[in-house]
Amino acid sequence: MENILESLATCIEFGKSDKSIAYPPELKGQDGAEELTKKALEAGISPNDVLKDGLVKAMNTVGEKFTQNKIFVPHMLMSARAMNSSLAVLKPFFKSGEIQRKGVFVIGTVAGDLHDIGKNLVAMMVEGAGWEVIDLGVDVTTEKFETSILEYPHCVVALSALLTTTMVNMEDTVKALKEKYPKTPLLIGGAPVTQKFSNRIGADDYNADPQGVIEYLNKIA
């Protein structure tokens, strides 16, 4: 059974969503993440173990490699696609409550900013780490973030910005949310964002890459 989960983790790490995917060459013609997830469940492995020892393990490895500049965005996107193939099989177990999420993670790009690549990467990695992700998209107003906090009172909120001009909106949103919901953890990130800026506006955490976000979430989960 451990071999199934190890194979699943390998497929997700290297982006093999299903048997039809020819990459990587050494796995050509072999089962991918989708088939292995089904086989693991059929073999009696619990959905929680599939998530923990298959998906989470693989995405942690991917995140660490990205942080170390051993892989880059295209590889992460391939891994995320394979992870989503596995998650699609596990979806009924999330709905039934058999798989317990670590928490709710709300993410969005701040008002005035339409960039989403970084946000999407973080969202995919966090979902692979076992969290329920609520992606609000781009150009998200303070009011939209607030609505999500009201709907998910114990959520973690992450704000992204790629433009220096929209950092002002990020600051306004963080300060407004912190004033109303001081217990809600607020995370920020994006190309122009720095730790100094995070400290100044009162965010709870800043990270330059998805793995840093996951490490923070693991501390508070």
Could you please report the per-residue DSSP string of 87-124?
Answer: HHHHHHHHHHTSSPPS-EEEEEEBTT----HHHHHHHH
CA 215 – CA 210 distance, rounded (Å): 9
pTM, two decimal places = 0.86
The whole-chain average pLDDT of the chain stands at 94
∠44-53-37 over CA atoms, to 5°?
Answer: 50
Q: Provide the pLDDT for residue 155.
A: 98
Segment 109-123, tens digit of pLDDT: 999 999 998 899 999
133 in helix, strand or coil? strand
Hey, what are 33's tokens? Answer: 């993440």
Judge contact between 105 and 152, C-beta under 8 A. no
CA 111 – CA 169 distance, rounded (Å): 6
Look-up: residue for tokens 């998906």?
A: 55
HSE (CB half, 13 Å, CA atoms) of 24? 10
Q: Provide the pLDDT for residue 221.
A: 82
**What domains lie within the chain, and their CATH numbers?**
2-96 (1.10.1240.10), 104-220 (3.40.50.280)
CA 22 – CA 143 distance, rounded (Å): 45
Judge contact between 82 and 17, C-beta under 8 A. yes
Per-residue CA distances from 71 to 63, 64, 105, 191 (Å): 9, 9, 25, 18
Burial track 21-59 (b if 16+ CB lie within 10 A, e otherwise): beeeeebeeebbbbbbbeebbeeebebebbbebbbbbbb
**Residue 2 pLDDT class (50, 70, 90 cuts):** low
Q: Provide the pLDDT for residue 97.
A: 85
Judge contact between 171 and 177, C-beta under 8 A. no
Q: Is the pLDDT reported for residue 40 higher than 80?
A: yes
Q: Is the pLDDT reported for residue 56 higher than 70?
A: yes
Q: Provide the pLDDT for residue 212.
A: 92
Segment 134-145, tens digit of pLDDT: 999 999 999 999
Segment 10-38, tens digit of pLDDT: 999 999 999 999 989 999 999 999 999 99
CA 37 – CA 54 distance, rounded (Å): 9
Segment 87-103, tens digit of pLDDT: 999 999 988 888 888 99
pLDDT exceeding 70 applies to what percent of the chain? 99
CA 217 – CA 90 distance, rounded (Å): 22
**Residue 1 pLDDT class (50, 70, 90 cuts):** low
